[in-house]
Amino acid sequence: MAKLSRRHLIRTGLAAGAAIAVTRCASNETAQAPNQAPSGTPANPAQSPEVNTNQTKDVTLRFIGTGVSQINEIRDKAQEDLGFKIEVRALSTEENNQIAITQPGQYDIFDGEFFSLPLVIPAGNLQAIDISRLKEFDKIVSIFTQGKFNGARVEQSQGTAPFKVMYLTEQGSKEFATSPTNWATLIPFQYNADTLGYRPDLVGRTIESWGELFNADFKGKTSILDIPQIGIMDAALVVESLGLMTFGDKGNMTREEIDRITNILIEQKQAGQFRAFWKTFDESVNLMTSGEVVLQSMWSPAVTAVKSKGFQCVYAPLKEGYRAWGGGIGLSKNLSGVALDAAYEYINWMLDGWVGAFLGRQGYYSAIPENAKKFMSEAEYAFWYEGKPATEDMIDPFGTKLESEGAVRDGGSFEERMGNVVVWNSTMQENTYLVQKWNEFIAS
Amino acid sequence: MSSKTFKALEPYLLVTPQTIVFLLFLVFPILMIAIVSFWQFNGYAMIPAFTLDNYLSIFTSKVSLQTYLNTFKYVILVWFFCLAIAFPVSYFLAFYIQNQTLQIILFLICTVPFWTSNIIRMISWIPLLGKEGLVNQLLLGLHVVNQPVEWFLYSDFAVVLGMVHLYNFFMIAPIFNSLMRIDRTLITAAQDMGASGWQVLKEVILPLAAPGIAIGSIFVVTLVMGEFVTVRLMGGGQSASIGKLIQTQIGSLQYPLAAANAVILLIVTLILVIGILRIVNIRKEL
């Protein structure tokens, strides 16, 4: 009897072990099943008495995008204003591009970054956006529509600048046009200028150059982004600033340039310059708040997140300029008929300003700032866009206080920040080689 | 259908569901990976055209070798520490705890590391091991060190610690299992013959526990070989393992290259497993 129960115990133990193994494996994978609501579910029954011939009410649009903009509040407001149903899926930058390219059946609207387009467009899963159907396209900031910005240095910026991939030569084309056409790839709705963030209390002085990232003063206290296409641009700004090397075009490096820059990175890594590398937003916030890292490349909302936890954090305006990124939405090839009409309605709604104001309160810029202004208080617009001291506390859309009265946005006004963009996140022609060398850097 | 033919067919019918699941979810995906590993790719798409470039680039790159060596380093260290902890723990559970309820409770306590999600576990190491973490504060307070110890976190030490913490149970369970099956009269007999405690352990218990150790080793070795989450989070992204290499390649849509790496990883892991099975006859256990 004793033996039997002992065996029973053993069996249970092994089963428990197996169960744990299974759940662990499962938990490593992101649940990717989209929760498909039955199509034709009325989005907003409260409105039903009104006589409406608008058929788009029965449409469900499936979005994929990053957590930055796939936010429930935006979805709810869109459903309320537009009357059709929207499903959002928040993914990492990498997953988002993967699905955009490899699983076209999974989405109707792609909310992605302009730098992914040199990979997404040739895959042929997006359809060109008919600009003539957009009410306010002409009002979109000229950085996107014309590659111009009052003569500021952003006009000469390197990398996958949105204007370079904004237009297609014709409707069914996979070729980017060098001058404006009627066919757009993505319609921008949020973008920002990224730079180094630092803890002034731990650094003890002002950081004014990208080169500081390799400064021996901060040995073992810096961090860089572990996404090859973005991290390499930050690294390029650093080595250029230090005069360690020059580039023909940072946004499209040659193999020799990639070799040299990874060698420099490897030297720095082996000398112990970096504390850690980060891949997700939360990791960069944790590194900063825990004091593990005092100076690192960061994303704007990560800086506000650090601040909202009660730590000082500066998003440094640097003399070499900013690295920028731009996000927009594109239409899946599968959209047609009523669903396509709904998608255009969404784009027009998105440009109308509510979304711009919502994202603006977190520090992102809107495609049409003058529209966002309509939905922001005077104090908010003055702080976020005009670089003026806050006349009241700045509260983000989720109720967290980001800045106190009197604070000034790091880097100043919209014109100062976006005008000083020198590079954009980039997909280079040597992308495959870059990833290989980046792995070498991580492995070294 | 007569009952006789049914009798003949019965075993086949019984194994059919298993076989289908096995083929569909194990054999087929592995075959696909093997096929894709010979394809070409161009950054956004896979091209079903035969090439050996993926394998050539792996075998000619010094990164692969370096990364494999680093992965082996983790395997050896994690395996060693898991065994060093798991054997005494299992021994204690099996031989010193007589009360079966208590035994079950203590065994379940060994599963505590699995009670929270992986990510939360990893994040909670920061306040413990970080520069401003509890351990460093204690050491500074006791004046053992003058500066915070940096290698507690984001280092090989941290990676190994994280993995030992995670995978120890996979070693404890099978060893505990083998120890429980040892006939207690054998030990009494050995003692009657005048064997010392050490001799009993060496001559009786260890050989009989060998299959359990082998099974635990297989668990640990295979888990660590493919590990990438712990390596990234505990290593602060600065440490390399084959799993992490594959993950970066998948993230950059280089599926064929990632597939080639996966095939090699599978082969290397199988060789290790076969090696373990060669040393210990595991069938005794089953």
Q: 10-residue block means of pLDDT along chain B (286 residues)?
A: 80 92 94 94 83 91 88 96 96 91 91 81 84 89 88 92 92 94 91 91 91 94 93 88 90 89 95 92 68
pLDDT of residue B286: 57
pLDDT of residue B124: 84
CB nearest to B254's CB, from A101, A432, A444: A432
State the pairing for strand pair A322-332/A421-424: parallel
Chain A neighbors of B174, CB-CB under 8 A: 14, 17
Residue A358 pLDDT > 80, yes or no?
A: yes
What are the two backbone dihedrals, phi and then psi, of residue A81, each rounded to the nearest 5 degrees? -75, -35
Mean pLDDT, to the nearest integer, of A120-131?
94
Mean pLDDT, to the nearest integer, of A36-44?
42
User: What one-character-per-residue DSSP string does A257-276 give?
Assistant: HHHHHHHHHHHHHHTT-EEE
Alpha helix (H) residue ranges in B50-205: 53-60, 62-91, 100-109, 118-123, 125-129, 134-141, 156-181, 184-192, 197-199
CB nearest to A290's CB, from B43, B114, B126: B126
Chain A neighbors of B232, CB-CB under 8 A: 279
Mean pLDDT, to the nearest integer, of A341-367?
94
Residue A44 pLDDT > 70, yes or no?
A: no
A10, B176: Cβ pair inside 8 Å?
A: yes
Chain A neighbors of B249, CB-CB under 8 A: 435, 439
State the pairing for strand pair A274-278/A187-198: unpaired
The ipTM estimated for the assembled molecules is 0.76
Chain B: residue whose CA lies nearest to A20? B114
More confident residue, A439 or B32: B32
CA dihedral B250, B252, B254, B255 (to 10 degrees): 30
Mean pLDDT, to the nearest integer, of A291-301?
91
pLDDT of residue A42: 43
Evaluate the CA torsion angle A153, A156, A160, A161 in order and state its sign: positive
Reduced 3-state DSSP string for A351-395: HCCHHHHHHHCCCCECCCHHHHHHHCCHHHHHHHCCCCCCCCCEE
Going by pLDDT thresholds of 50, 70 and 90, the confidence category of residue A350 is very high
- Domains and their CATH numbers in chain A: 53-185+325-351 (3.40.190.10), 194-321+420-443 (3.40.190.10)
Q: In this structure, are residues A9 and B103 in contact, taking their beta carbons and an 8 Å threshold?
A: yes
Residue A422, helix vs strand vs coil: strand
**In Å, how far are A224, A237, A256, B178, B253 from A433, measured between CA atoms?**
20, 20, 11, 50, 13
| Residue whose C-alpha is closest to residue A355's, from A190, A193, A194 | A190
Chain A neighbors of B253, CB-CB under 8 A: 97-98, 101-102, 119
CATH topology of domain B62-285: MetI-like fold (1.10.3720)
Kindly report which listed range (A30-39, A311-320, A423-432, B170-179) carries the lowest average pLDDT score. Answer: A30-39
A91: Cβ contacts below 8 Å, ≥ 6 apart: A30, A64, A65, A66, A67, A70, A99
Mean pLDDT, to the nearest integer, of A363-384?
94
| Residue whose C-alpha is closest to residue A222's, from A310, A143, A148, A288 | A288
- Amino acid symbol at A426: S
pLDDT of residue A11: 52
pLDDT of residue A49: 40
Mean pLDDT, to the nearest integer, of A150-160?
92
- Condensed to tens digits (0 to 9), the pLDDT of residues A73-92 reads 999 999 999 999 999 998 88
Alpha helix (H) residue ranges in A271-336: 281-289, 300-308
pLDDT of residue A344: 96
Name the region of A396 (left: φ>0; alpha: ψ -120 to 50; beta: rest): beta
pLDDT of residue A95: 86
Token pair of B65 as six digits:
């070798």
- Condensed to tens digits (0 to 9), the pLDDT of residues B120-162 reads 877 788 889 988 889 999 999 998 888 888 889 999 999 999 9
The C-alpha angle B135, B137, B138, rounded to 5 degrees, equals 65
B236 vs A: CB within 8 A = yes
Mean pLDDT of all residues belonging to chain A: 86
What are the two backbone dihedrals, phi and then psi, of residue A112, each rounded to the nearest 5 degrees? -140, -175
Residue A52 pLDDT > 70, yes or no?
A: no
Kindly report which listed range (A18-32, A74-88, A254-268, B152-166) carries the lowest average pLDDT score. Answer: A18-32
Going by pLDDT thresholds of 50, 70 and 90, the confidence category of residue A50 is very low
d(CA A149, CA A136): 18
pLDDT of residue B283: 73
The C-alpha angle A182, A184, A188, rounded to 5 degrees, equals 130
d(CA A427, CA A230): 9
The alpha carbon of A284 is separated from its chain's Cα centroid by a whole number of angstroms, namely 14
